[in-house]
Structure 1
């Protein structure tokens, strides 16, 4: 189906970390995951784009309408939106909990409102909207042997990935006027001035802050990865590959906290490929 090919192209071009994992899936699941990613990317791009807030709000409302069309079975292969067509087909094949996309939209709306996070509990709400939701959506494609505990683990793994993203993007987000780390943590470590400069705030315990948040992310990884035994071999490999790439990224940040102020921390392609192959072999890199 051409609609799926479009979604695969979007995924390969704009989500290298994600695409390393889904390459390990059998074709039906790989195509469904590419459709999930393509819509998630569209929602993210709305939030991060240059449109006025009012237009972004309308674009997010159109996304909600798209989801309603899929739920109500009103999408045909003649529709001109390939992401909608692909996701509708995937939702007929797999029990995808589409409400997860509503949560993702809510998370982007929080960004548009300029939401601030006083406590970690406040931040967790945001993380579960923008990342935990993707974990639960993905579980609908993967399948799971324990539907009582599995979604909670998928949600927590999403939290771990998002916390890693927040650490990685501290400087970039700060230059865009966004601070995601809880205000109580910034105050505790003397980092209230933010991270717009390429050096830690004067007098701040920046190393202590990053160590504290990295430990929090590490604990979320350890809990979330309990999901792996509940998945079939290739879904487990896919999840282990994606989580492994972010886990290694977290390790890089923890080892050199100031690196996040100098530029975006990333892994070379060969290392991502190694992590993906390790996941296929049953490892947890």
Structure 2
């Protein structure tokens, strides 16, 4: 949807982006505070794509995440615990997302386990505002959940499921921002139920669904021989997530 373009009048601290709608946006120090939701989300896409480019290594140079080696800590092996953590994530995925689970079986074992870990974190996050304890969830509870997310990205998992995701984000170029943005979507669920225009709705759909695509692409990977740019792959994943959420909303309108 977007493509980069250069301009001789642009300063080094900003980049000019051209949109298919003809709207121009600037990222960097000259950012317009009145940017649309699409422009704001695209900045996240650019960051994720940059991470993949930095760590993109051909399959000949690097194998998938190696899980055959035991992990040593204080002279003891905790590989069995980590393996069990991934297996538990797989069980949750198989129980609550049967079709999705079958799709993950087509992946390599290491990528499959990493996707299970991401799925479980997303499900647990959604359950905070849409599960049996939702009436008791407060903004402070979501703040604590975000602090816990930061801890696991820094290598301090709280429980078994966190440990699986902690291992995943240390092995793949997964950035924390899409995870934080999903939590922001849960905050919106607590305080807002109506959106006055599509721009607001687009941002909400990104928070609760588009983020999943950005989390998953680093694990699923981009084939070394692919001629597609990292930005275009991330844009496609983002668009798929937003389309799924819009479809869910339309389905719910019919039911309600």
Measure how far apart 1:151 and its partner are: 1.3
- Aligned with 2:161 (options 62, 78, 83): 83
Partner of 2:113: 31
Measure how far apart 1:17 and its partner are: 3.2
Inter-partner Cα distance in structure 2 for 1:52 and 1:23: 32
Q: Provide Cα deviations, 1:102-121, integer angstroms capped at 9, x if missing partner.
A: 11111111111024211122
Does structure 1 conserve the Cα–Cα contact (< 8 Å) formed by 2:213 and 2:237?
yes
Partner of 1:230: none
Partner of 2:218: 140
Inter-partner Cα distance in structure 2 for 1:66 and 1:101: 11
Residues 59, 24 of structure 1: alpha-carbon distance in 2 compared, 3 angstrom cutoff? farther
Does structure 2 conserve the Cα–Cα contact (< 8 Å) formed by 1:128 and 1:159?
yes
Does structure 2 conserve the Cα–Cα contact (< 8 Å) formed by 1:47 and 1:56?
no
Measure how far apart 1:57 and its partner are: 2.6
TM-score (norm: length of structure 2): 0.61
Measure how far apart 1:94 and its partner are: 0.9
Residues 104, 52 of structure 1: alpha-carbon distance in 2 compared, 3 angstrom cutoff? closer
Measure how far apart 1:65 and its partner are: 1.4
Residues 14, 111 of structure 1: alpha-carbon distance in 2 compared, 3 angstrom cutoff? same
Residues 58, 35 of structure 1: alpha-carbon distance in 2 compared, 3 angstrom cutoff? same
Q: Aligned residues, how many?
A: 169
Residue 246 of structure 2: SS of its match in structure 1?
helix
Matched, 1:116 2:201: no
Q: Provide Cα deviations, 1:145-170, integer angstroms capped at 9, x if missing partner.
A: 52222212111111111111112222
Residue 97 of structure 1: SS of its match in structure 2?
coil
Partner of 1:156: 239
Inter-partner Cα distance in structure 2 for 1:57 and 1:165: 25
Residue 40 of structure 1: SS of its match in structure 2?
helix
- Aligned with 1:96 (options 174, 183, 194): 174
Measure how far apart 1:39 and its partner are: 0.5
For structure 1, the residue ranges without an aligned partner over 5 or more in a row are 173-194, 196-285
Inter-partner Cα distance in structure 2 for 1:40 and 1:5: 17
Inter-partner Cα distance in structure 1 for 2:214 and 2:197: 24
TM-score (norm: length of structure 1): 0.55
